């Protein structure tokens, strides 16, 4: 009989926590016991899973005593508080927050890119930022053929990146505007319905916001090239779910678009979507609910002989968060490392 694993979801009531539950059931994850952990405010409520109602528990110091795997998606401060306790209890934590991503002893893993890094964990494995995951899945197959020297990326990030409440806020704001009423922001700093604004994460000293610097620093760590030049502009757009990115890649020599298309058509975690005759390329509405990152509009950069342009869309909640975490857990199980 194959082994079963006791799993705890830390942050079970959020958008990513909900997706984690769906994926565990959908992918027939070898579950023993499933424990749902959240704040005291949510404790006592129940969530349906595989035809059963599971009661949410408030996280405590003993919550991880019988747990093999912790899938954490409750924010950086929560992860910093509880994941070291989970590690001491013998659990392996896969963390969706930014708390440990740049820690030198914590692997930052995208299974399609650097699966071997997961094997070097010391109890905690970090899930990268959503935009970084989607981009690295799409560009790494090209980087393996000819190393990328520079990346210029602009993101078009949906409300889902700010959580379930932000998604609901966009719906409410949209209805208000259609009714001739003001769109009042509560979760996001500005109205997002029928609007967009640069990503509102805190600004750093170099005038890039934290979200943009995550893409710079995390991509270097995942790919294993700390000399690659990267610049990012991150924008929040009035889309409910799935992020989009316009990516410009610079190589030492020209990269034929047809060769890039051929490589990406068979790359793991990628789906090639493009029809130049119909001007049909990846869209958030098509990427929502899908595992793969949709890639298309591959073309020569007319401003640079060694430049290549890509357009991608990916489900931020799924591959950009929950699915990547579950895939890391599956990778460890396949290697008999849990």
Binding residues for NADP(+) are 13-16, 41-42, 160-161, 316
Nearest-CA neighbor of 155 among 239, 31, 83, 253?
239
Residue list for the binding site for substrate: 157, 210, 236
Residue list for the binding site: 13-16, 41-42, 101, 157, 160-161, 210, 236, 316
Phi/psi of residue 265, nearest 5 degrees: -65, -25
Nearest-CA neighbor of 85 among 32, 37, 15?
37
Query: Rounded CA gap, 142 and 309, in Å?
Result: 12
Residue list for the binding site for phosphate: 101
Q: Dihedral angle at the C-alpha atoms of 26, 28, 31, 34, nearest 10 degrees?
A: 10
Query: Rounded CA gap, 121 and 100, in Å?
Result: 12
Instruction: Annotate 19-65 with DSSP letters as a single string.
Output: HHHHHHHHTT--EEEEEEEE-TTTTT-EEEETTEEEEPEE--TTTTT
Catalytic positions are 130, 243
Query: Rounded CA gap, 293 and 319, in Å?
Result: 8
Query: Rounded CA gap, 65 and 85, in Å?
Result: 9
């Amino acid at each position: 009989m194959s082994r079963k694993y006791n799993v705890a979801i830390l942050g079970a009531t959020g958008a990513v926590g909900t997706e984690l539950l769906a994926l565990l059931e959908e992918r027939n994850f070898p579950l023993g016991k499933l424990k749902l952990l959240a704040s005291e405010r949510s404790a006592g409520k129940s969530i349906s899973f595989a035809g059963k109602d599971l009661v949410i528990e408030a996280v405590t110091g003993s919550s991880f005593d019988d747990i093999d795997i912790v899938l954490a998606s409750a924010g950086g401060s929560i992860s910093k508080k509880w994941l070291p306790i989970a590690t001491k209890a013998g659990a392996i934590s896969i963390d969706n927050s930014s708390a440990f991503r740049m820690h030198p002893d914590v692997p930052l893993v995208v299974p399609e890119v650097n699966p071997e890094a997961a094997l070097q964990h010391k109890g905690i494995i970090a899930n990268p930022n959503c935009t970084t995951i989607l981009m690295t899945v799409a560009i790494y197959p090209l980087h393996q053929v000819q190393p990328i020297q520079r990346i210029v990326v602009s993101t078009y990030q949906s409300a889902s990146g700010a959580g379930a409440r932000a998604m609901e806020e966009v719906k409410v704001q949209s209805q208000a505007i259609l009714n001739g009423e003001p769109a009042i922001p509560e979760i996001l700093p500005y109205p997002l319905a029928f609007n967009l604004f640069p990503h509102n994460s805190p600004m750093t000293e170099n005038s890039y916001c934290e979200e943009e610097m995550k893409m710079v620093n995390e991509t270097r760590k995942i790919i294993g090239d700390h000399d690659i030049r990267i610049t990012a502009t991150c924008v929040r757009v009035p889309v409910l779910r799935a992020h989009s990115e316009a990516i410009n890649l610079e190589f030492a020599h020209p990269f034929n678009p047809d060769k890039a298309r051929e490589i990406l058509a068979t790359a793991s975690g990628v789906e090639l979507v493009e029809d130049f005759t119909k001007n049909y390329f990846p869209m958030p509405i098509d990427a929502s609910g899908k595992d793969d990152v949709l890639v298309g509009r591959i073309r020569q950069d007319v401003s640079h002989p060694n430049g290549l342009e890509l357009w991608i869309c990916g489900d931020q909640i799924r591959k950009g968060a929950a699915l990547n975490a579950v895939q890391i857990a599956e990778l460890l199980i396949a290697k008999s490392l849990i």
